[in-house]
Amino acid sequence: MKFGFSVKGGEFMGDCIFCKIVAGEIPSKKIYEDDKVLAFYDISPEAPVHFLVVPKEHIVSANDITEENCSIVSHIFLVINKIVRDLNISENGYRIVNNCGTDGGQTVNHIHFHVLGARELKWPPG
């Protein structure tokens, strides 16, 4: 997407914080980037390691995963697999979280996977 705004999943990409981070319009502390995804540290970390992995394409939530775009999810898990090894949290373990919609606690309407680690995490979540 080079020019202007387009609508996907009912939202203007131009209003989306994570599209702006992907575009470099909002700075972020990047960990990994390729043609399909960006990984960056969460601005408000809930664990000593807390990063987010987002597709560069604007997909609103898990509700918007389709036959056509679902390969991005496996790609994101492969990227997480690489990053957790690079950050030395793979052996102790970590948590991958996707919040979907209002009850799921999603606050940014561009699908993202949280990865939290480097401390023991409680279960169940609140």
Interacting residue with Zn ion among 50, 110, 112, 114 (CB under 5 A)? 110
Contacted by 110, from ligand 5GP, Zn ion, none: CB < 5 to 8 Å by type: Zn ion
Partner residues linked to 19 by β-bridges: none
| Nearest residue (CB) to Zn ion, 11 versus 121 | 11
> Rounded to 5 degrees, what angle do the CA atoms 69, 9, 98 make?
65
| Nearest residue (CB) to Zn ion, 1 versus 48 | 1
Q: How far is the CB of 13 from Zn ion (least distance, A)?
A: 5
Alpha-carbon span 113 to 4, nearest angstrom: 27
State yes or no: residue 16 binds Zn ion (CB under 5 A).
yes
3-state secondary structure of 19: helix
